[in-house]
Structure 1
Amino acid sequence: MTSTATRDGARLAREPVPAPTQFIPPPKLRRRPALIAAAVTAICLGALLAGWAWTATSNTQEVLVARNGIERGSVIEDADLARVRLSADPALKPVSASEFDQVVGQRAALDIAEGSMLSPSSITSSLTPAAGSSVVGIALTPAQAPGLDLRYGDHVRVVVTPAEGDDLPSGVPTFNDAEVVGVHVSDETGQSVVDLLVPHADATVLATRVAAGNIALVLDSRDR
């Protein structure tokens, strides 16, 4: 028993004693201002983009646009319309897509180009010409027409002018009041053709004066 204890003591004496664990502090991280600024900028930019996306999405509305070109006076059919969601300026007063069924069956108050938004002024439930009215077409030379472009709804006067070589009549020249309901250029003559809405009783007289060619069109004030 004594010899065994002696051998164990000798073995323990030969085994090295482990050194105490030394605490090594973590390395100090170097701050890089450029990286910090870039990270802050990226965060701010992401927030701005998210806000813009939310605003753009929340301001969109579903409106009606013309799938095909619609001529003035034509009956609007469901195939002529499309529902489109877009960001539209409220000042344009676009027709909401929820009014689809109400718009179908009405007439185009003016020429509606393909892809354009519908507005309340572009549709009408009335037929032109209405009862008691007539439409007279007038082909005008540049000397007979005003310099300004004529628009749908303009109020004009068709003034009778003297024939070439005749004296000016005394008193107030004869004229007819009318409203412009259409303007286009003739493919054959290149002249401007203006469709005028007049009372039914004046249509025959005006057509006779137009046929004589001695007329001029006067544009009255657009201030209503």
Structure 2
Amino acid sequence: MTTTTSQATGSSAASDGRGARPDRRRRGKEGPAVAAVPVVPAPKLRRRPVLVAASVAAVCLGALLGVWTWSSTSNTHEVVALRQDVTRGETITQGDLVTVQVGLDPALKTIPGDRLSSLVGQRAAMDMAAGSLVTAAGVTKAVLPSEGMSVVGVALPPSLMPGERLLAGDLVRIVATPGQQGDLGQEPPATVAATVVGIYPNGENGETVVSLEVPEGQAAELAARAATGKVALVLDSRER
């Protein structure tokens, strides 16, 4: 009886043990309960009138800038400008001129670019700086020598010329220098007033040939004095 009871008890315990394990496995598979996450609705966008107005203003500003850029580029014209300085009375050469694109003021009488070649050979009516636009008032078709005038060339060494650079249009005087004896005499030296129309340095002998415009009646005297080599050039005032 004791043995039977003991086996029954053990069998019952084993049966209870087998019954308990499946319960643990089921709990392990199911796992802990997960709480439900509430769904938050998307926020409603609020319209801001200030931002809308700023966007519209930016678009309009961009359009205006585009119109201004197009207008400024489409209203440019090709005109003649100076590549280098040209002094009053100097003959204008092809190398002095260049064409540029600029916006024009109707009050400015510029020279169209297609007329550049017509300016070559004319003379500057005033001093004009490099980069400036050529206007109708800045050039002249006056020929040299003009009626009743003559042009005489005088070759001078640097010692008998002023240190200042001569310019076309300068008023000068050719002064007779003393002879070999260096005697000035009682009378003042003879002078001939003239206007500079050209300067041509000679690199071979160091002399400079200055073309001078003088009245016809004084041309012979000036040429004779220049031939002796005993003359000097004096630059008079440039104030006008």
TM-score by shorter chain over 0.5: yes
Q: In 2, Cα distance between the equivalents of 1:180 and 1:206?
A: 14
The match for 1:109 is 123
Q: Which runs of 5 or more residues in structure 2 are unaligned?
A: 1-35, 46-57
How big is the shift at 1:75? 9.4
Any residues of structure 2 matched to 1:32-181 within 5 Å, and which? Answer: 57=73, 61-65=77-81, 73=91, 83-86=99-102, 95-97=110-112, 100=115, 104=118, 107-110=121-124, 117-120=133-136, 123-181=139-197
Question: What SS is found at the alignment partner of 1:86?
Answer: strand
Contact kept in structure 2, 1:153 and 1:179, CA below 8 Å: yes
Q: In 2, Cα distance between the equivalents of 1:59 and 1:176?
A: 53
How big is the shift at 1:212? 0.8
Contact kept in structure 2, 1:108 and 1:124, CA below 8 Å: yes
The structure that is helix-richer by fraction is 2
Q: In 2, Cα distance between the equivalents of 1:88 and 1:156?
A: 39
The match for 2:230 is 214
Q: In 2, Cα distance between the equivalents of 1:57 and 1:171?
A: 69
* Equivalent residue letter for 2:158: P
Question: Are 1:186 and 2:202 counterparts?
Answer: yes
CA 1:175 to 1:74, structure 2 compared with 1: closer, same or farther past 3 Å?
same
Could you state the TM-score of these two structures normalised by the residue count of structure 1? 0.60
How big is the shift at 1:138? 1.1
Q: In 1, Cα distance between the equivalents of 2:103 and 2:157?
A: 43
How big is the shift at 1:88? 8.8
CA 1:104 to 1:164, structure 2 compared with 1: closer, same or farther past 3 Å?
same
CA 1:115 to 1:25, structure 2 compared with 1: closer, same or farther past 3 Å?
closer
Q: In 2, Cα distance between the equivalents of 1:65 and 1:95?
A: 9
The match for 1:11 is none
Contact kept in structure 2, 1:107 and 1:127, CA below 8 Å: no
Q: Deviations 1:79-123 (Å, cap 9, x if unpaired)?
A: x9775313699xxx773318939x83784215x9x9985344652
Question: What SS is found at the alignment partner of 1:211?
Answer: helix
Contact kept in structure 2, 1:157 and 1:178, CA below 8 Å: yes
The match for 1:24 is 41
Question: What SS is found at the alignment partner of 1:104?
Answer: helix
Q: Which runs of 5 or more residues in structure 1 are unaligned?
A: 1-18, 29-42
Q: In 2, Cα distance between the equivalents of 1:221 and 1:74?
A: 25
How big is the shift at 1:180? 0.4
CA 1:82 to 1:145, structure 2 compared with 1: closer, same or farther past 3 Å?
closer
Larger-Rg structure: 2
The match for 1:35 is none
Give the aligned CA root-mean-square deviation in angstroms: 4.5
Q: Which consecutive segments of 4 or more residues in structure 1 shift more than 4 A?
A: 50-61, 72-76, 80-83, 114-117, 119-122
Q: In 2, Cα distance between the equivalents of 1:162 and 1:65?
A: 47
Q: Percent identity?
A: 38
* Equivalent residue letter for 1:194: V
Could you state the TM-score of these two structures normalised by the residue count of structure 2? 0.56
CA 1:75 to 1:25, structure 2 compared with 1: closer, same or farther past 3 Å?
closer
